[in-house]
Structure 1
Amino acid sequence: MTTNLTKEILIQYAELQEEVKDTRKKIESLENQITRMEEEGAVIDCVKGGAGGIQNFKVTGFPYPKYSRTKSLLYSRKSILETLELESLETINAAEEFIASLADARMRRLLNLKYIEDLSWIQVARRMGGKATPDSVRMEVKRYFDK
């Protein structure tokens, strides 16, 4: 596996994790909308009509079209989430296999902290300890991928 390809896998994994989080938030929002519709039940609206448009009528009903669209969107998003989670698992397996294959223990730690645990460079430097700074660990990883 080439170094550039491996770097792309590590970056792709981090992006997939964010995409999974975003999709979960969208699913939660849709579930909340559906719950609200079910709890509120019928909606009531007043319309004018009749003789010369001066009579008021109260219309009551459940918003089935909106409810149905929201449910369909929810099922679609859940399907997308399953696909993303499967892709994420495949990508993390490839990333972890690459990291485990490295001879340099320090680089294994750096890559694991940054890409698998998704820490910031500041957090990576703190976890590495010693005289590590955010810039020094970032440059160390950059130099590794550049060679």
Structure 2
Amino acid sequence: MDKSVLIEYADMKEEIRDLRRRIEKDRRELDGLNEMVVSDSVTCGKKGRKPIRTVRIQGKPTKAIERKQKALEGNIARREHMEAELLELQGQAEEYIEGIRRSELRIMFRLYYIDDLTWYQVAIEMNRIFPKRRIKYTEDGCRMRHNRFLEKIE
């Protein structure tokens, strides 16, 4: 577990949301394929240059539907696999944060990485959580505690 996975955590959340949206779009398109109907009009015989009558023909383009259905199912499977990998990485990042011994640092990491807050917002939230603390949390103080902790580990 390294720092890059923690930094990518918020991006992974957005990517998972995007993948889920794309999977849902593909599933809706897959459901819509069965309702697809193609129609054409053809002439029945000719008398000289004029057609006797025209007939409208309707049907389903089964080959095209099967080909597109196969491609969409492949896309869905690939995206679901990628989503599973990202969820596993997210789980590792959360386990790493939960493994931090000091409660104060654990809360800071959770606010910064999981909740995707800025250091200023982290300081405000920490002051709200610990109102009786003699020395208030600052943006730089929270960031420096975070950096010192990561330097100790590396």
TM range (shorter): 0.5 to 0.7
Specify which structure has the higher proportion of helix: 1
Aligned length: 140
- Residue in structure 1 matched with residue 132 of structure 2 by the alignment: none
Greater gyration radius: 2
**For residue 59 of structure 2, what is the amino acid of its counterpart?**
G
TM-score scaled by structure 2? 0.62
Q: Deviation per CA, 1:20-79, whole angstroms, max 9, x where unpaired? A: 2222211211222232332x442224579x97x986664422133443233223322332
1:70-105 CA-to-partner distances (Å, cap 9, x unmatched) read: 322332233223322332343233223322332332
* Structure 1 portions without partners, runs of 5+: none
1:35 and 2:28 matched:
no
Question: What is the match of residue 120 of structure 1?
Answer: 117
Percent identical residues: 30
Q: CA RMSD in A?
A: 3.8
Amino acid in the other structure paired with 2:88: E
Q: Provide the C-alpha distance between the structure 2 equivalents of 1:138 and 1:80, rounded to a whole number of angstroms.
A: 40
Q: Normalising to structure 1: TM-score of the pair? A: 0.64
Structure with larger RCO (C-alpha < 8 A, sep 6+): 1
Unaligned runs of 5+ in 2: 129-135
